[in-house]
Amino acid sequence: MSELKTEEEQIEAFKNWWKKNGTSLVLAVSIGVAGYFGTQAWIQSEENHVSEASALYQNMMDATSDLKLESNQKTVAFIANQLADDYSDTGYAAFSQLILARLAVEKGELDEAIESLNQVKETTEDASLRTISSLRIARILLEKQELDAALSQVNEIVSEEFTVQKQELKGDILLASGKKDEARAAYEAANNALTGSASHPLLNIKLQDLVKS
Protein backbone atom coordinates (compact mmCIF):
# COMPACT_ATOMS: atom_id res chain seq x y z
CA MET A 1 0.00 0.00 0.00
CA SER A 2 1.18 3.54 -0.73
CA GLU A 3 2.91 5.50 2.00
CA LEU A 4 0.51 8.35 1.30
CA LYS A 5 -2.64 6.46 2.19
CA THR A 6 -4.42 7.83 5.22
CA GLU A 7 -5.15 5.63 8.20
CA GLU A 8 -8.81 5.43 7.20
CA GLU A 9 -7.79 4.28 3.70
CA GLN A 10 -5.54 1.64 5.26
CA ILE A 11 -8.45 0.40 7.37
CA GLU A 12 -10.81 0.44 4.39
CA ALA A 13 -8.32 -1.54 2.31
CA PHE A 14 -7.98 -4.14 5.04
CA LYS A 15 -11.76 -4.33 5.45
CA ASN A 16 -12.16 -4.93 1.72
CA TRP A 17 -9.44 -7.57 1.82
CA TRP A 18 -11.13 -9.33 4.72
CA LYS A 19 -14.51 -9.20 2.99
CA LYS A 20 -13.02 -10.83 -0.11
CA ASN A 21 -10.60 -13.23 1.54
CA GLY A 22 -11.59 -13.68 5.17
CA THR A 23 -13.98 -16.57 4.65
CA SER A 24 -11.71 -18.36 2.20
CA LEU A 25 -8.81 -17.97 4.60
CA VAL A 26 -10.82 -19.49 7.39
CA LEU A 27 -11.80 -22.33 5.09
CA ALA A 28 -8.20 -22.98 4.08
CA VAL A 29 -7.11 -23.20 7.69
CA SER A 30 -10.09 -25.33 8.59
CA ILE A 31 -9.23 -27.99 6.02
CA GLY A 32 -5.76 -28.45 7.45
CA VAL A 33 -6.89 -28.49 11.06
CA ALA A 34 -10.03 -30.52 10.92
CA GLY A 35 -8.70 -33.31 8.73
CA TYR A 36 -11.10 -36.19 8.58
CA PHE A 37 -12.99 -35.24 11.76
CA GLY A 38 -16.11 -33.49 10.72
CA THR A 39 -14.50 -31.19 8.19
CA GLN A 40 -17.70 -30.21 6.45
CA ALA A 41 -19.51 -29.45 9.69
CA TRP A 42 -16.56 -27.42 10.94
CA ILE A 43 -16.35 -25.45 7.70
CA GLN A 44 -20.05 -24.65 7.87
CA SER A 45 -19.67 -23.58 11.49
CA GLU A 46 -16.80 -21.22 10.60
CA GLU A 47 -18.73 -19.78 7.68
CA ASN A 48 -21.65 -19.08 9.99
CA HIS A 49 -19.30 -17.58 12.58
CA VAL A 50 -17.80 -15.10 10.09
CA SER A 51 -21.23 -14.31 8.64
CA GLU A 52 -22.60 -13.54 12.09
CA ALA A 53 -19.67 -11.24 12.81
CA SER A 54 -20.16 -9.51 9.46
CA ALA A 55 -23.86 -8.96 10.14
CA LEU A 56 -23.14 -7.53 13.58
CA TYR A 57 -20.50 -5.22 12.15
CA GLN A 58 -22.90 -4.01 9.46
CA ASN A 59 -25.47 -3.23 12.15
CA MET A 60 -22.80 -1.30 13.99
CA MET A 61 -21.90 0.68 10.87
CA ASP A 62 -25.58 1.51 10.36
CA ALA A 63 -25.67 2.92 13.88
CA THR A 64 -22.63 5.13 13.20
CA SER A 65 -24.61 7.03 10.56
CA ASP A 66 -25.88 9.35 13.32
CA LEU A 67 -23.83 9.21 16.49
CA LYS A 68 -25.57 12.25 17.90
CA LEU A 69 -28.32 9.87 18.95
CA GLU A 70 -27.62 8.31 22.34
CA SER A 71 -29.42 5.13 21.26
CA ASN A 72 -26.97 4.73 18.38
CA GLN A 73 -24.01 5.32 20.68
CA LYS A 74 -25.28 2.56 22.96
CA THR A 75 -25.77 0.25 19.97
CA VAL A 76 -22.19 0.84 18.80
CA ALA A 77 -20.79 0.15 22.26
CA PHE A 78 -22.91 -2.98 22.74
CA ILE A 79 -22.00 -4.51 19.37
CA ALA A 80 -18.32 -3.62 19.74
CA ASN A 81 -18.20 -5.43 23.06
CA GLN A 82 -20.06 -8.42 21.63
CA LEU A 83 -17.63 -8.67 18.72
CA ALA A 84 -14.69 -8.44 21.12
CA ASP A 85 -16.12 -11.13 23.39
CA ASP A 86 -17.50 -13.62 20.86
CA TYR A 87 -15.79 -12.89 17.53
CA SER A 88 -12.27 -11.80 18.51
CA ASP A 89 -10.87 -14.19 15.89
CA THR A 90 -12.34 -12.10 13.05
CA GLY A 91 -11.15 -8.79 11.67
CA TYR A 92 -14.47 -7.21 12.57
CA ALA A 93 -13.58 -7.18 16.27
CA ALA A 94 -10.57 -4.95 15.62
CA PHE A 95 -12.51 -2.62 13.32
CA SER A 96 -15.23 -2.23 15.92
CA GLN A 97 -12.73 -1.24 18.61
CA LEU A 98 -11.33 1.47 16.34
CA ILE A 99 -14.83 2.87 15.94
CA LEU A 100 -15.46 2.60 19.66
CA ALA A 101 -12.23 4.52 20.31
CA ARG A 102 -13.29 7.26 17.90
CA LEU A 103 -16.63 7.56 19.66
CA ALA A 104 -14.90 7.78 23.04
CA VAL A 105 -12.63 10.58 21.79
CA GLU A 106 -15.61 12.52 20.50
CA LYS A 107 -17.18 12.21 23.96
CA GLY A 108 -13.97 13.29 25.65
CA GLU A 109 -13.42 9.87 27.22
CA LEU A 110 -9.74 9.68 26.33
CA ASP A 111 -8.74 6.88 28.70
CA GLU A 112 -11.54 4.70 27.35
CA ALA A 113 -10.36 5.42 23.81
CA ILE A 114 -6.82 4.34 24.70
CA GLU A 115 -8.19 1.15 26.24
CA SER A 116 -10.03 0.27 23.02
CA LEU A 117 -6.97 0.99 20.90
CA ASN A 118 -4.75 -1.08 23.15
CA GLN A 119 -7.21 -3.94 22.73
CA VAL A 120 -6.70 -3.73 18.97
CA LYS A 121 -2.94 -3.85 19.43
CA GLU A 122 -3.18 -6.86 21.72
CA THR A 123 -5.60 -8.92 19.64
CA THR A 124 -5.04 -8.25 15.94
CA GLU A 125 -2.31 -9.89 13.91
CA ASP A 126 -2.46 -7.20 11.26
CA ALA A 127 0.59 -4.94 11.48
CA SER A 128 -1.16 -1.98 9.82
CA LEU A 129 -3.99 -1.97 12.34
CA ARG A 130 -1.51 -2.17 15.21
CA THR A 131 0.41 0.77 13.76
CA ILE A 132 -2.76 2.81 13.26
CA SER A 133 -3.71 2.11 16.88
CA SER A 134 -0.28 3.25 18.09
CA LEU A 135 -0.56 6.48 16.11
CA ARG A 136 -3.99 7.21 17.53
CA ILE A 137 -2.91 6.41 21.08
CA ALA A 138 0.04 8.78 20.65
CA ARG A 139 -2.26 11.56 19.43
CA ILE A 140 -4.51 11.09 22.44
CA LEU A 141 -1.52 11.15 24.80
CA LEU A 142 -0.35 14.34 23.09
CA GLU A 143 -3.79 15.82 23.69
CA LYS A 144 -3.46 14.84 27.35
CA GLN A 145 0.02 16.42 27.43
CA GLU A 146 1.54 13.07 28.41
CA LEU A 147 4.42 13.78 26.08
CA ASP A 148 6.95 11.15 27.16
CA ALA A 149 4.33 8.41 26.85
CA ALA A 150 3.24 9.77 23.47
CA LEU A 151 6.81 9.78 22.17
CA SER A 152 7.36 6.24 23.45
CA GLN A 153 4.24 5.10 21.59
CA VAL A 154 5.45 6.67 18.34
CA ASN A 155 8.91 5.19 18.68
CA GLU A 156 7.37 1.70 18.75
CA ILE A 157 6.29 2.12 15.12
CA VAL A 158 8.59 0.39 12.64
CA SER A 159 6.39 0.07 9.56
CA GLU A 160 7.98 2.01 6.70
CA GLU A 161 4.65 2.69 5.00
CA PHE A 162 3.70 4.90 7.95
CA THR A 163 6.95 6.88 8.03
CA VAL A 164 5.30 10.16 7.05
CA GLN A 165 2.62 9.90 9.74
CA LYS A 166 5.11 8.69 12.35
CA GLN A 167 7.66 11.44 11.78
CA GLU A 168 5.07 14.21 11.54
CA LEU A 169 3.45 13.14 14.80
CA LYS A 170 6.87 12.79 16.40
CA GLY A 171 7.55 16.37 15.35
CA ASP A 172 4.28 17.52 16.93
CA ILE A 173 5.19 15.83 20.21
CA LEU A 174 8.74 17.21 20.24
CA LEU A 175 7.46 20.70 19.43
CA ALA A 176 4.99 20.48 22.32
CA SER A 177 7.97 19.50 24.49
CA GLY A 178 9.80 22.66 23.48
CA LYS A 179 12.40 20.78 21.41
CA LYS A 180 12.22 22.84 18.24
CA ASP A 181 15.41 21.56 16.59
CA GLU A 182 14.40 17.91 17.09
CA ALA A 183 10.87 18.72 15.91
CA ARG A 184 12.26 20.30 12.73
CA ALA A 185 14.38 17.19 12.07
CA ALA A 186 11.30 14.98 12.46
CA TYR A 187 9.24 17.15 10.11
CA GLU A 188 12.06 17.08 7.57
CA ALA A 189 12.19 13.28 7.83
CA ALA A 190 8.45 13.17 7.20
CA ASN A 191 8.82 15.48 4.21
CA ASN A 192 11.68 13.39 2.79
CA ALA A 193 9.55 10.26 3.10
CA LEU A 194 6.93 11.68 0.74
CA THR A 195 7.13 9.92 -2.61
CA GLY A 196 6.78 11.10 -6.17
CA SER A 197 4.81 14.30 -6.66
CA ALA A 198 2.97 13.95 -3.36
CA SER A 199 2.47 17.09 -1.31
CA HIS A 200 1.56 17.71 2.31
CA PRO A 201 0.57 21.39 2.75
CA LEU A 202 0.13 21.20 6.53
CA LEU A 203 3.56 19.62 6.95
CA ASN A 204 5.06 22.42 4.83
CA ILE A 205 3.43 25.00 7.07
CA LYS A 206 4.88 23.34 10.17
CA LEU A 207 8.35 23.37 8.65
CA GLN A 208 8.06 27.00 7.54
CA ASP A 209 6.92 28.08 10.99
CA LEU A 210 9.97 26.46 12.56
CA VAL A 211 12.30 28.05 10.03
CA LYS A 212 10.86 31.48 10.85
CA SER A 213 11.11 31.00 14.62
Judge whether residue 1 has pLDDT over 90.
no
Give the pLDDT confidence of 5-53 residue by residue, as tens digits.
566 666 666 666 555 555 554 555 555 555 544 555 545 666 788 889 8
CB atoms within 10 A of CB 28: 11
Q: Dihedral of the CA atoms 65, 91, 12, 29 (nearest 10)?
A: -140
Judge whether residue 115 has pLDDT over 50.
yes
Of 13, 17, 16, 15, nearest to 1 by C-alpha is 13
The pLDDT value recorded for residue 14 is 61
Give the pLDDT confidence of 133-179 residue by residue, as tens digits.
999 999 999 999 999 999 999 999 999 999 999 999 999 999 999 99
How much is the CA Rg of the chain, to the nearest whole Å? 20
